[in-house]
Amino acid sequence: MQGDFSRTTFDPRKHYSAVLTQQGRVQLDADLNEQGALLLHQLRTTVADLLGPAVAPAVGGGFAIDAVAGKKPQEDLRIPAGRMYVDGILVENELDTAYWTQPDLHLDPTDPTSQLPQDKPFVVYLRVWERLITALQDPAIREVALGDPGPDTAARAKTVWQVAALPVAAATTADALTEFATRLAAFRPTGQLRAHAKQPPAVPEDRCELPPDSRFRGPENQLYRVEVHTGGPAWPATTTPKARRGHLPGATFKWSRENASVVFPVTALHGAVATVTALGRDGKLGLEVGDWVELVDDTTTGHVADDTVLADPPRPSPRLRQVLAIDAVDLLVTLDHQDGANDCALGAHPFLRRWDHVAAADDGALPLVEGPWLDLEDGVQVQFQPGSGRRGTYRRGDYWLIPARTATGDVLWPQAPDGPAPQDPSGVPYHYAPLAYVNGATIDASPRKTFRPLGS
């Protein structure tokens, strides 16, 4: 999540059960956040072990997909209120809703990628994930007693549920569920990342005399975020810079030294000119001409990675935008282009998210090339590599966090005998539950499993 964190420390492989605070010690955000993660891990694992991967209570259960009165299943679907557990995560729907009006997935009826499949059977499934919510999205988080606007203090993790449809070729429910599981398995990324602070070609015997470019040279501690922008396979090694213009032969990535937490709320958007509420507290957290930004709101945030992979036709990643001019008096930010299809709705909490890379691909991000060490800044380097096969695949929105520390002049990264260990993405974790199989006018709701309370 793109919060202003020092680092994230939860690792289920360490088998920690609690964070124990000691007297007179410094309090760190990472310790408090790890305690919450430990409790959630234990609770969700227990629930999943007891109930199974995806199940609804027989009484009070929701998401029993049905047809909307007077409409075909291909036109709309009814989503009844109730709750469900997906991989141990409690998913709640307070009110009856429909496919086109679900609260956490903003759909455009004119967008082909939002339509339910019209000419083939499909599996209706529930997608569950978590997103960061700050006072920008929910003003009630901010304590007004601290001043106006005041600090935003702690953020929140929100459980997001979305009902989506996957077209399949199978003519039976059993075959459709097999095809659904196969598609999800293929959707998992295989690319990995390594990170370190740049080392010289030959380390001298006297390690007290290392060259200045052999370590992290940043003026303060940072939490770097490397995130996949456009998903897909890594770029072919033979791709030349000239061939990179005009199309994307592979995945791209972007990076931020602040975990992508530097954002600027937008109050008006006229073409390529955005009016923001502020330009940052200082130069470190501000906006400058030449910066690359992402125009984000609740609508764009809701369209996640498998919209690109599983949807037909696939949904492209929005192009990042470069800042051309800044009017500090009227708080106007002029961007390098206007794209009406990706412009944000002002009622959906729009903001500009700053990224710190220098773009080199057509989507405003960087080519994702496996093999060579790639420079970020101040001695920090990353290396993409395939987890299996000749080229790795990368999923839009997946990310790695790299804490850099001035005290050691290095990054905090797991080590292997031959150097930094390759790591899978830190997230985003998506969880899935099949709900129904639709073939023509028939809706088979048997994929949705139920359970009865132990005391019943």
Confidence at residue 201, expressed as pLDDT on a 0 to 100 scale: 56
pLDDT in tens, 108-118: 888 887 889 98
Q: Are residues 180 and 79 in the same domain?
A: yes
Q: Is residue 456 part of a domain?
A: no
Ramachandran angles phi, psi of 50, nearest 5°: -80, -40
Q: Which residues contact 165 (CB under 8 A, 6 or more apart)?
A: 99, 116, 117, 122, 123, 124, 125, 438
Q: Are residues 47 and 166 in the same domain?
A: no
CA distances from 20 to 10, 25, 29, 35 (A): 14, 11, 14, 9
Q: Are residues 64 and 183 in the same domain?
A: yes
Q: Is residue 144 part of a domain?
A: yes
pLDDT in tens, 308-320: 556 554 556 788 9
Q: Which residues contact 436 (CB under 8 A, 6 or more apart)?
A: 65, 123, 124, 443, 444, 445, 447, 448
Q: Are residues 134 and 200 in the same domain?
A: no
Structural domain boundaries enclosing 214: 191-257+359-424
Q: Is pLDDT above 50 for 341?
A: no
End position of a domain, from candidates 336, 355, 374 = 355
pLDDT in tens, 119-145: 899 999 999 999 999 998 898 998 889
Task: Name the pLDDT band for 243 (thresholds 50, 70, 90).
Answer: very low
CA distances from 89 to 74, 85, 427 (A): 29, 5, 16
Confidence at residue 152, expressed as pLDDT on a 0 to 100 scale: 80
Q: How far is the C-alpha of 369 from the C-alpha of 386, rounded, in Å?
A: 10
3-class DSSP assignment, residue 380? strand
Q: Are residues 282 and 398 in the same domain?
A: no
Q: Are residues 59 and 112 in the same domain?
A: yes
3-class DSSP assignment, residue 112? helix
Q: Are residues 314 and 346 in the same domain?
A: yes
Q: Is pLDDT above 90 for 219?
A: no
Q: Is residue 22 part of a domain?
A: yes
Helices and strands of the chain, counted as H and E runs: 4, 29
Q: Are residues 44 and 86 in the same domain?
A: no
Q: Are residues 274 and 339 in the same domain?
A: yes
Q: How far is the C-alpha of 34 from the C-alpha of 12, rounded, in Å?
A: 10
Q: Is residue 90 part of a domain?
A: yes
CA distances from 402 to 2, 139, 225, 330, 424 (A): 13, 30, 6, 36, 13
Q: Is residue 109 part of a domain?
A: yes
> Which residues share a beta bridge with 273?
270, 334
Is residue 6 within 8 A of residue 29, CB to CB? The reply is: yes
Task: Name the pLDDT band for 211 (thresholds 50, 70, 90).
Answer: low
Mean pLDDT of the chain: 88
Q: Which residues contact 112 (CB under 8 A, 6 or more apart)?
A: 313
Q: How far is the C-alpha of 356 from the C-alpha of 370, rounded, in Å?
A: 21
* Element at 405 (helix H, strand E): strand 399-405
Looking at per-residue pLDDT, the higher value among 300 and 123 belongs to 123
Q: Is pLDDT above 50 for 245?
A: no
- Where do the DSSP E strands lie in 181-291? 191-197, 222-230, 232-233, 252-256, 263-270, 273-276
Q: Which residues contact 399 (CB under 8 A, 6 or more apart)?
A: 225, 226, 227, 228, 425, 426, 427, 428
Order of strands, sheet of 122-133, starting from the edge strand that comes earlier in the sequence: 156-167, 122-133, 431-439, 442-444
Burial class of residue 289, CB neighbours in 10 A (0-12, 13-18, 19+): exposed
Q: Is residue 417 part of a domain?
A: yes
* Element at 294 (helix H, strand E): strand 292-296
Cα dihedral 274, 279, 284, 290 in deg (nearest 10): 30
Local structure of residue 300 (DSSP, 8 states): H
Q: How far is the C-alpha of 103 from the C-alpha of 296, rounded, in Å?
A: 17
Q: Is residue 8 part of a domain?
A: yes
Q: Are residues 247 and 366 in the same domain?
A: yes
Confidence at residue 302, expressed as pLDDT on a 0 to 100 scale: 82
Order of strands, sheet of 399-405, starting from the edge strand that comes earlier in the sequence: 366-367, 252-256, 222-230, 399-405, 410-411
- Rounded to an integer, the average pLDDT of 391-401 is 91
- Rounded to an integer, the average pLDDT of 322-351 is 81
Q: Is pLDDT above 90 for 206?
A: no
Looking at per-residue pLDDT, the higher value among 362 and 238 belongs to 362
Domain count along the chain: 4
- Of the chain, the percentage scoring pLDDT greater than 90 comes to 65
Q: How far is the C-alpha of 398 from the C-alpha of 402, rounded, in Å?
A: 14
> Which residues share a beta bridge with 294?
353
Q: Is residue 350 part of a domain?
A: yes
Looking at per-residue pLDDT, the higher value among 84 and 418 belongs to 84
Terminal CA-CA length for the chain: 40
- Rounded to an integer, the average pLDDT of 233-257 is 75
Q: Are residues 335 and 417 in the same domain?
A: no
By C-alpha distance, which of 227, 210, 261 is closest to 409?
210
On the question of a cis peptide bond just before residue 163, with omega within 30 degrees of 0, the verdict is no
Q: Which residue has the tokens 């520390």?
A: 405
Is residue 380 within 8 A of residue 400, CB to CB? The reply is: no
Confidence at residue 226, expressed as pLDDT on a 0 to 100 scale: 98
pLDDT in tens, 8-67: 999 999 999 999 999 999 999 999 999 999 999 999 999 999 999 999 999 989 999 999
Confidence at residue 231, expressed as pLDDT on a 0 to 100 scale: 87
Q: Are residues 34 and 96 in the same domain?
A: no
pLDDT in tens, 288-299: 999 999 999 888
Looking at per-residue pLDDT, the higher value among 214 and 270 belongs to 270
